[in-house]
Amino acid sequence: MERIWAPWRTEYIFNEKPSGCIFCLPPDTSGDREHLVLCRTPLSLVMLNRYPYTNGHLMAAPLRHTADMDSLSDEEMLDLFRTVRLCRAILYEEASPQGFNIGMNLGKAAGAGVDDHLHFHIVPRWNGDTNFMSVVVDVRVVPEGLLAAYDRLRPRFDALDQ
């Protein structure tokens, strides 16, 4: 029997969920690796999803805490969408996916895990990336550890600041 390991899931299963908003972080960037933050723009941030659907599952959110799309200024909306486009481009170059799921879930009824701070999911997809595990036991197999993915992707975002 082949074993499939995903040790980072233990944290989600056994530990209390963090209080506060995962997207509302201090401006000090010294904890960005711990928080899986890959990039900050003037009005948005990008982080790896701690409980990813696939390798490289990113989330982009406005810096300002809001769940209301209508409250975003034109500048915030443009910055956020440019950030989503940047994420897709970096993931395409880095991981060569054959497609993407990009979108947001607004509100608990729509499936939002964080329903008080709107955010986009940028999910790279490969032909055949859903397999029997998802169908039989509702489990996803993500072969790369989060910090390994962070260390692989962060330089791509850092290069943009040059």
User: Residue 41 pLDDT more than 90?
Assistant: yes
Q: Where does the pLDDT of residue 145 fall: very low under 50, low under 70, confident under 90, or very high at 90 and above?
A: confident
Helices then strands (H, E): number in the chain? Answer: 5, 5
| Mean pLDDT within 157-162 | 75
Architecture of domain 35-161: 2-Layer Sandwich (3.30)
Q: Where does the pLDDT of residue 162 fall: very low under 50, low under 70, confident under 90, or very high at 90 and above?
A: very low
**Which residues are within 8 A (CB) of 47 and not within 5 positions of it... i.e. 6 or more apart?**
22, 23, 35, 36, 37, 38, 58, 59, 61
| Residue-range domain boundaries for the chain | 35-161
Q: How high does pLDDT run on average in the chain?
A: 84
Confidence (pLDDT) at 18: 62
The structure tokens listed for 129 are 């990336």
Which of 77, 52, 68 lies closest to 148 in space, CA to CA? Answer: 52
User: Residue 132 pLDDT more than 50?
Assistant: no
- Type of residue numbered 48: L
**Which residues are within 8 A (CB) of 75 and not within 5 positions of it... i.e. 6 or more apart?**
43
Q: Where does the pLDDT of residue 128 fall: very low under 50, low under 70, confident under 90, or very high at 90 and above?
A: confident
